[in-house]
Structure 1
Amino acid sequence: MIKPKHPIKTYIVSTAIITTLAFTPGLSENVSAKANVNSSGTGSSIEASESTLLNNGDRGGAVKSVQSELASQDYYTYNLDGIYGSITKEAVEDFQSDHGLAVDGIAGPKTKEALSSSATEPEVETETQTETMTLSSTSGDAASDSDFVATAQSLVGESYTSGGETPSEGFDSSGFINYVFEQNGTDLSRTHAQMWASDGEKVDSPSVGDVVFFEETYTSGPSHSGVYIGNDKMIHAGTEATGVEVTDLNIDYWENRYIGAKSFD
């Protein structure tokens, strides 16, 4: 390496530049502001604000707010962790596709506005809502015809807790199914994958009181299920934000992950 001929002079000039940067109004503010931009240039790696375009790598209360609105409309079924990762991006893309928005996985102003307005829109039954895959063919029975459904309905509003199996501690999704059927004298395997592989009988289309199964929700293979109550709806333990709730199965998120139904009578 070639050494500078005037090291003392170089040191003095460098020190002067650093001092000038530190005391120049606006310049130091620009430098510090850029420290909040993540590697993709789309948002803050520390915490995104409500006005930020939210994308991969963002985190904080603004992201958690979007996750909560997605969860309330059954596009997001995971913990509200405030981290904008691939799962949140996929949920945003599903929502955008369903609502005629540009599908880019970015929660910008139009997507946020659509999320807020969709959350307050009343549900309107349409003819197409009763024509979905194989879920609708045996949905004519009233929900009260099933003891399983009656038990599930009595639990709507209970909290979601990872590993939970009772109303007092809350339910996770498979714990909820176990509890409903246990209360009616039927013991099931603890996990969705085990229930799908070993318990009950598979049916071509679900009847009231059957269990509908889904895959690839938070892990590969069968990973979620709910009690079918007719009219293309199920009761399930959703997320920490929703708890035990009634969900419409016509939503793309569930249609795309549906793998079948089983009867546990």
Structure 2
Amino acid sequence: MFKAKLSSRAWIVVFIISSIFFPGFMAEAADRVHTVAANETVESIARTYHISPAQLMNANGLPDNKLYAGQKVKIIQTASTPAAYQWSERGKRIADYAKTFVGFKKMAGEETPANGFDSSGLIHWVLSRQNISIDRLTVDGFYKQGMDTAAPKAGDLIFFLEKASSKVVTAGIYLGKNQFVHSGYGAETVQVRSSTENYFGKYKMAYKTYTPKGEHIVQSGETLKGIAEKYGISMNAIKNRNALPAAGLIQGQYLQIYSSPLFPFYVNQEAAYDKAEAVIKYAYTFRGFTYAFGEDDPTLGMDCSGFIYWVMKEQGLSVKRGSAEEYFSLLPKIENPKAGDLVFFRDTGARRGVTHVGIYLGGGRFLHTTEKPGVHISSLSSGYFAEKFESFGQAEDLMN
């Protein structure tokens, strides 16, 4: 076991050991560059950083999968803030999906590919099919419900308002670099338009970010009282729905506002211990928070075991800070896990042994954190983590 915060001397030891046994790891953590070692391949490096071989090749302009010892390859950067990174990934999917409807007909009052789209209908169709549960509203309704953003990203909404009255005239799905997908004014089909066109120059612009219905991303300086007043509910309701501890809010947290998170993969799932549901609710608020090796503080980043330590500790559970391998050695292995038990993985990245751990949710899903995309939900049924699965551990035995 080791303490929650490593001393400067301990970090020196970590650096030396990492440099010897994990070539390129510490450089990657600092400047996102990996030095290719002898016998490394595109596939092995991609596995180390939990990215695809195609991502690695594209980021470095590799013409084929041949590498040379000593090459320095760039690893795709994570974002500087958790909420920004998570939304950039989801936003890109929204933008890409919106572009697939370019050329579909414009039709007032409609919102389906078969019948056509008006501007608000296109927004509703695209966002609702990207797991953002929203009502069918007018463009003015979308404007009022969205969260203001001064730094728009792909997948946000762009609105055009009359300069004198601020009446919302039309809206589209922002792609970046002044471009947006739009169905409405000045065209008979869905088109990629530019906000610099003369047609839109007579309006003022505003940008809004959309989270799943009933969620709120905590902004810098916000208080629980202010958020509760904004949505017209009590502070206790928000606390209970997110199992918030007394320590307060952290910028970038995703808060459930109108209901507790209803995960389809653990509804009716038996809890592993008394506070398992609270641990899961609270852990869920950190989706998208960044990974940081050796850390267990969301403001600095968390590694996989640090994430588990943090959320359990903040829920008042007496747990020690340990690595995935140490937690694995402490817990009885079980075949029928309950929500809140731990799930372990072997030989992830360049390391060997039990090297990764997550919180089991039920239905073959688990919540964990990796280099990219930070805290997120993954499946045990297929893919990388299905191959690396080791066993389940009875989490109740972690508490002392």
TM-score computed with the length of structure 2 as normaliser: 0.33
Pick the structure with more strand per residue: 2
**Structure with larger Rg:** 1
